[in-house]
Amino acid sequence: MPLWAYDPLAHSAHRHCITTKVLHLPHGRKVEERDIPKLIYAGRYGRCQPSAGGQEAEFYSTESAYLTIMPESNFPILSFQEFLSGSEEEKRAVAQKLYNAFHNFGWVYLKDFGITQQEIDEMFSMSKKYFERPIEAKLKETLKDAEVNQGYTPDGAEANGGTDHKECYEHRRFCNDLSPSDEELKGFKAFMDDFYERCFNLAVSVLQALALVMDLDINYFSTALAKADPQLRLLHYMPIQRSIIEAEGHARIIPHTDFGLCTLLFQESGGLEVDPFHTGNFLPATPIPGTCVINVADLLQRLSNDRLRSTLHRVTTPPLSKEALEKIGEHGLLPARYSTAFFVHPSADIDIDPIARDGEVKKYSKVNAGEWRVMNTAKNYSSILGSEATQIKV
Ligand SMILES: O=C(O)CCC(=O)C(=O)O
Ligand SMILES: [Fe+2]
């Protein structure tokens, strides 16, 4: 695996290949080349830590800046090509790697998955046109119902235990009444329907891969998704004062887990951070061109009886150069950020009952996917849907 020194004060793309055989650390300590892969990056301004045992490495410095060491990415990067077009044996090998990534980290960067970077760029350009419209036009299309869960959400209206600073648009499979007409934004609905379908097909393939290694019927998830109505979400994090999103209880999106089966995520710039082990140690999940990120969500964790991990994640200040941060200052504005998520929820009539193996105890009770979804959506949107919305019981 190539090794990269990553400068947390520099732009996310700013990485230097490590050429040294030995890293010299403060206080005369050294890390031999063979041990470098064991170091993991431990926070935006944090420390390097050996991943298994041993002493903390802390920062080491070069002439240019503080550097920490990390592999090219904090999370595995996996080509999906051979699952889509390979032999049975190749399919199984990809599926096993996907399963391992979800088991160990809950996250994977997928490449060669059938949607090109050019198509992703076109989607972001449509997303920007949507959000650039006047606020009055967007507010007319405000999301109204936890069950329908389609339309626009203004800044500050969705959060659960803190304050988010973002605006969103939700697109669904069967009905999108609260979306701009062709007169308002030409081609929007047709474009989003098409992008939605491509995400849906990818989600089915990803879940089929998991079924293969989880010893489930290969059609288990396609049946669970037959009548499903997942949620394509466009997100816009407006330019915002750094001091606001770095204040206690605030973020562009506060730490949370997703509550469906899994989520596909496309991101244009940095700021996303993941805490795979729920220890408060958030690792940057910076965008890698040509990839999408896929994370496990709560229903898959429940179904797998905790074999697959649904991880905490948040969006906060992106990794910017020291100069850029100085220029922005504490009260200056951070640049806007765009991302798009596809939340994969099963059909409302499916029950999710943990699969316990080898005499294992089930760690969760059975839940109905439809009720689970309405309850979680209502909780997150109580500020626009009213407090009664949170009283739906499972
Ligand atoms: O914007 C992102 O990168 C993450 C969005 C997210 O986690 C969510 O909407 O649940
Ligand atoms: Fe999320």
Q: Is 79 part of a structural domain of the chain?
A: yes
Among 17, 12, 6, residue whose Cα is nearest residue 60: 6
How remote is the CA of residue 313 from the centroid of ligand 2, in Å?
A: 6
Average pLDDT of the chain, as a whole number: 81
Residue 209 within a domain: yes
User: Could you tell which of 253, 262, 264, 288 is best to mutate to test the pocket of ligand 1, judged by most ligand atoms within 8 Å of the CB?
Assistant: 253
Which of 44, 69, 94 is where one domain is finished? 69
Amino acid at 131: F
Q: Is residue 7 part of a domain?
A: yes
pLDDT tens, position by position, 103-147: 988 999 999 999 999 999 999 999 999 999 999 999 999 998 888
Q: In degrees rounded to 5, what are phi and psi of residue 269?
A: -145, 175
- Give dist(CA 160, CA 142) in Å, integer: 19
Amino acid at position 281, single letter: N
- Cβ atoms of 190 and 181 within 8 Å: the answer is no
Are 71 and 78 in contact by the 8 Å Cβ rule? The answer is: no
Q: Give the phi and the psi of residue 6 in degrees, each rounded to 5.
A: -115, 125
> Which residues have CB under 8 Å from 358's CB, separation 6+?
none
Shared-domain flag, residues 4 and 108: no
Ligand nearest to the CA of 340: 1
Atom of ligand 1 nearest to the CA of 265: 3
Domain boundary among 69, 97, 120: 69
Nearest-Å Rg of the Cα atoms of the chain is: 22
Calculated CA dihedral for residues 309, 312, 314, 318, nearest 10 degrees: -60
- Lookup: tokens for 166: 């973002």
Claim to verify: residue 132 and residue 52 sit in the same structural domain = no
Query: Do both 10 and 99 map to the same domain?
Result: no
Same domain (yes/no): 294, 339: yes
In a shared domain, residues 118 and 56:
no
Ligand 1 geometric centre to CA of 232 (Å): 11
Question: Which CATH number belongs to the domain containing residue 135 in this structure?
Answer: 2.60.120.330
For the segment 154-162, the average pLDDT, to the nearest whole number, is 79
Give the pLDDT band of residue 232 (cuts 50, 70, 90). Answer: very high
CA distance 81 to 345: 24
b/e 69-82 (16+ beta carbons within 10 angstroms → b) = bbbebbbbbbebeb
Instruction: Please indicate whether residue 129 or residue 38 has the higher confidence score (pLDDT).
Output: 129
- In terms of residue numbers, what domain contains 12? 1-69
pLDDT in tens, 181-218: 999 999 999 999 999 999 999 999 999 999 999 989 98
Q: What is the ipTM of this complex?
A: 0.99
The Å distance, Cα 313 to ligand 1 centre, comes to 8
Say which range, 57-61, 239-243, 351-355, 359-363, has the weakest mean pLDDT. Answer: 57-61
Asked if residue 155 is part of any domain, the answer here is: yes
